[in-house]
Amino acid sequence: MALTTQADVRGTRAELGRQGFRFALTGGFVALVYVGTTTFLAEVVGLGFEAALAVGFAVAMATHFTLQRLFVWKPSSAFALPLLHQLVRYLAMAGIQYGITAAVTATVPRALDVDPELVYLPVVAILTLTNFVVFRSRIFHPAID
């Protein structure tokens, strides 16, 4: 059994910080892609808003998955899961996240008699942190040598 040194702990903490920074940077960029694509298609191209929103969402999801895989979590050797398995898990997480967000924002604001935004923002924050952990440990994790 190998002993963990202080340098190993710092290296792990430093990498966690770098991953967190790249995760946040990617999230901000993908939000711009989503809004930009949707707005461009609706306002410049003249596509109906609902169609523009669907295309913008699809482009944002593809961009997000690609950046998570190639920029945020890229391991030094290889991923533990092949691309298709990562994609399936990623899409499952996206579906679960959407379902939780929709269910909570549809019920909790009425039950507490508050604006939906007061519920939505904490839910998004919690799910974002959850995504970071799940992406890091269950979807985009490196193969164990």
pLDDT (tens digit, 9 = 90+) per residue, 20-48?
A: 999 999 999 999 999 999 999 999 999 99
Looking at the fold, whether 42 and 83 belong to one and the same domain comes out as: no
Residues 141 and 108 occupy one common structural domain: yes
pTM given for the model: 0.88
Q: Which segments of the chain are extended strands (E)? A: none
For the chain, the C-alpha Rg in angstroms (whole number) is 18
Total number of domains constituting the chain: 2
pLDDT in tens, 96-114: 999 999 999 999 999 999 9
Tokens (6 digits) for 109: 């604001």
Same domain (yes/no): 54, 97: no
Domain boundary among 54, 74, 94: 74
The pair phi, psi for residue 113, each rounded to 5°, is: 55, 55
- In Å, how far from its chain's centre is CA 138? 13
Range(s) of the domain holding residue 126: 77-145
